[in-house]
Structure 1
Amino acid sequence: MENLINIDVVFDKLAFVNQKLAHREFDGCIFRNCDFAGSDLSNNSFTDCEFRDCNLGMVKFRETGLKTVLFSNCKVIGVRFDEADEFLFHVRFDNSVLDYACFENRKMPKTSFRHCSLREVIFTGADLSGSDFDHCNLEGAIFSETELKACDFTTAYHFSIDPEQNPMKKAKFAVEALPNLLSKYDIKII
């Protein structure tokens, strides 16, 4: 990772814990079994990249470009995606743990979250229109003034969303999830 520009490079089993890396470009790169825990990856650019089986817990992405980046089987705990560069921001998550992450005020329509843990994640003010939460645990996730139009929550679970605070026209929910949308009213559905 010493090169300033990295194109189509595969990084395998890289140990880069609690370190700083800045002003690098990664285009079409794959990171496999890498450990970036606690590292500062601010002011970099990742375009069409994949992180597979990586630990990115508490990584800093301040002003970092994340343009079509896939996180698969990764630990992405406590990451502040709200600090990443907004330009062309597009991420996807498969089988990943994003507990305590923050997407506050982030525009990220049509984002795919598949089989993810999203416990205590902050989505306040985010635009998630058309996003898919396929088999995701949303326990304690915060939705406030969050754009949820046409989102698919049919297989999501443990969420609590206030329809009065979050626009959700045409969003999809399983009938079993009805109590999760009415929890603030403290009513019993039998």
Structure 2
Amino acid sequence: MAESFWVDQEFIKQEYTAHKLPKGDYENCRFVDCTFAKGFLDNQNFVECSFEGCDFTNTNIAHTIFNDISFMGCKMVGLQFETCNPILSTFQFRGCNLSVASFHGMSLLQTLFEDCKLHQVDFSQAQLKGCTFHGSDFKDAIFDNTDLEQADFTSAVNFNIDPNVNHLKKSKFSKDGLIGLLKKYDIVVT
């Protein structure tokens, strides 16, 4: 049970590595340039909150609820999103570095990943139906048994998706991006 309740609050340039963010429910709160790196953000409840320019590198987010959350310009390296509470989890990511993060087995229907660095991100067994990946970089990202139906990769780069082991029905790709679907065949396209 939550210990405290915060509504319409702003948290600016706060450091939450040495001491934890107080346990509780945060609704319609704004976090700007806060540092959670290598800390504990577990068992929290966030509803309709925004995080701008925050550092979450290797933060523990186990059992945390993220409902209608917007991340902008955040460093989220190594986060294990599959450990957070899946109930009502909805995100938007803009200009974030999510390298080495994991969304293994998660349902992220219609999630926006805009201009994100998604290097070595694990999307295996995830449900990404209707997701938008405008301007995102997928260098060495893992797609294995991933549902990408109606996902939009038209301006994404560096993805390597095997159509034989992923569901791609009605997914969108640019002509230049089609090479990302053929890499396993070692075909030279000029």
Equivalent residue, structure 2, for 1:40: 40
| Aligned residue number for residue 128 of structure 2 | 128
Structure-2 change in CA distance of 1:56 and 1:98 (3 Å): same
Helix, strand or coil: the match of 1:180? helix
Q: 1:68-117 CA distances to partner (integer Å, 9 max, x unpaired)?
A: 11110110110000100010010110011000000000001000001110
- Is contact 1:18-1:36 (8 Å) kept? no
Aligned mates of 2:34, 2:23 — CA distance in 1: 19
Ranges of 4+ aligned residues in structure 1 off by more than 2 Å: 18-23
Number of aligned residue pairs: 188
Counterpart of 2:73, as a letter, is: N
TM-score (norm 1): 0.96
Question: Where does residue 167 of structure 2 map in the other structure?
Answer: 167
- 1:53 corresponds to: 53
- Deviations 1:33-68, CA, capped at 9 Å, x for gaps: 111111111111010000001111111110100001
Percentage of pairs with the same residue? 33
Distance 1:168 1:134 in 2: 17
Structure 1 residue 23: deviation in Å?
A: 3.7
Contact 2:17 2:40 survives alignment (8 Å): no
1:71 alignment partner, SS class: strand
Q: Could you tell me which residue of structure 1 aligns to residue 154 of structure 2?
A: 154
C-alpha displacement at 1:19, in angstroms? 4.0
Letter in 1 for 2:79: V
Retained in 1: the 8 A contact 2:110–2:128? yes
The 5 Å alignment of 1:105-116 reads 105-116=105-116
**Partner amino acid for 2:108?**
M
- The answer as to whether partners of 2:42 and 2:63 remain within 8 angstroms in 1 is yes
Distance 1:30 1:57 in 2: 19
In 2: Cα distance, 1:164 partner to 1:56 partner: 34
2:49 counterpart SS class: strand
Q: What is the Cα-based RMSD across aligned positions, in Å?
A: 1.2
Which residue number corresponds to residue 64 of structure 1? 64
Equivalent residue number for residue 91 of structure 2: 91
Deviation at 1:16, TM superposition (A): 1.1
Farther off after superposition, 73-82 or 14-23: 14-23
